[in-house]
Structure 1
């Protein structure tokens, strides 16, 4: 049974989600205090965290930042509807996904299951048959250890960024459609209004460097997808 931690000060929402999610096969714990929720998230007792941005004392961004310094546990942010800035900032700080309020509990379940499927696939790859490293120029990606290196130095990539880099490097020199990236990495259908994958690509570019020599590493193919330049 997957264990979920909800950090949200809305007690009515927490109780509603617990009532809905328990029959769906989740063991739910909720914390309305941000500090206590942060400590609980780092306890190792949960599979995924649902984190609201608007919290008293510590806001969701501060909590996410602290979690990411110590743990790779999947985090889905809850944001105010229409506040695109909050969503982008959350993704840039390492959130795996976001969901605007108010939301349908069914969509939350779908997002959670998609993130957990991806995490479980990663664990199986590590245990069963770790593929070899991929090396292009000064970037090396080791799927066995799930660590990427630039000039021999490890890069602090999130799980989503690592998977994106892996797909793009495997297909170096060829355009990878946005639809494929969203389905493979976020495990959901692509929507032209969802900018999540674009934000993850932007974060990845910052970490690996925009250019190598005279070439742009990851080219945007307008309205289509992205291309990792084979050098």
Structure 2
């Protein structure tokens, strides 16, 4: 799967330039020119890294970075016309991983993007070698030790079975899980055809997560196959 890079810059020429070079390297690019659209994109699409211009027409890059760090851990690179110590300190304090100053060499940006993604993947791989006790997926946080689930910081009241269903799907993030696999993993019984138990619990989970039935954000139905958290 190609890594997805969010590029936010109100200067069209710069955004187009970054899109061109990143796409040529095999990245998928979400290109936006304001902060509000960027925040909406982050909440509705899986993002692997963000490149944020500091000066934007509505919300500045610092505020976007701060919002990202409330729920996400992917790398953030700040793009700025000038670099001052105060700006750099503020950005790093808010969770930025790297800075690059305009005008820039786009090949250097691509190299830095690859470096940040390598570090991020290495960290995640090292973390996953230990038994994972918590998942945080686009604002949905579930912890196996505390047996609690939060959506954007708000506690979601789940039954033990609902918790186990959601935990199993999160543990298989990116993979499609069949109803049979899910039932046998959670209920520890042999799955029988036409068993609506899984479907009923998925529907209940979606209701508690305020999911749209037509366009769910978290638990997606892959028709004829099963369920998936991307």
Root-mean-square deviation (CA, aligned residues, Å) is 2.1
Kept after mapping to 2: 8 A contact 1:42/1:67: no
Deviations along 1:197-228, one digit per CA (max 9) or x if unpaired, are: xxxxxxxxxxxxxxxxxxxxxxxxxxxxxxxx
TM-score (ref. length: structure 2) = 0.54
- Corresponding residue number in structure 2 for 1:113: 114
Q: Say if 2:8 and 2:35, in contact at 8 Å, map to a contact too.
A: yes
Per the alignment, in what secondary structure is the counterpart of residue 38 of structure 2? Answer: helix
By how many angstroms is 1:14 displaced? 1.0
CA contact (8 A) 1:41 1:49 kept: no
2:7 matched residue in structure 1:
6
Partner of 1:57: 58
**How big is the shift at 1:82?**
3.8
1:157-196 pair list within 5 angstroms:
none
Q: Does structure 1 residue 88 correspond to structure 2 residue 94?
A: no
CA contact (8 A) 2:77 2:98 kept: yes
Bigger Rg over Cα: 2
List gaps (5 residues or longer) in structure 2. Answer: 135-230
SS of alignment partner, residue 76 of structure 1: strand
The 3 A distance-change label for structure 1 pair 74 and 21 is: same
Moved over 6 A (4+): none
Q: CA deviation at 1:63?
A: 1.3
* CA positional deviation for 1:44: 4.2
Deviations 1:98-149 (A, max 9, x none): 1111111111111111111011111211223x39xxxxxxxxxxx987xxxx
Q: SS state of the match for residue 102, structure 1?
A: coil
Show the counterpart of 2:182. none
Shift of the alpha carbon at 1:16?
1.4
Separation in structure 2 between the aligned mates of residue 54 and residue 82 of structure 1, nearest angstrom: 12
Residue pair 2:21, 2:110 contacting (<8 A) in 1 also? no
Deviation at 1:2, TM superposition (A): 1.3
Aligned residues of 1:79 and 1:86 also touching (Cα < 8 A)? no
1: distance between equivalents of 2:119 and 2:47?
16
Within-5 A mapping of 1:25-174: 25-128=26-129, 130=130
Q: Cα deviation per residue 1:5-26 (whole Å; 9 max; x = unaligned)?
A: 1011111111111112211111
TM-score computed with the length of structure 1 as normaliser: 0.53
Give unmatched runs, 5+ long, in structure 1: 132-142, 146-231
Q: Pick closer, same or farther for the CA change 1:70–1:144 going to 2, 3 Å.
A: closer
Looking at structure 1, the residues matched to 14 and 63 of structure 2 have their Cα atoms a distance apart, in angstroms, of 22
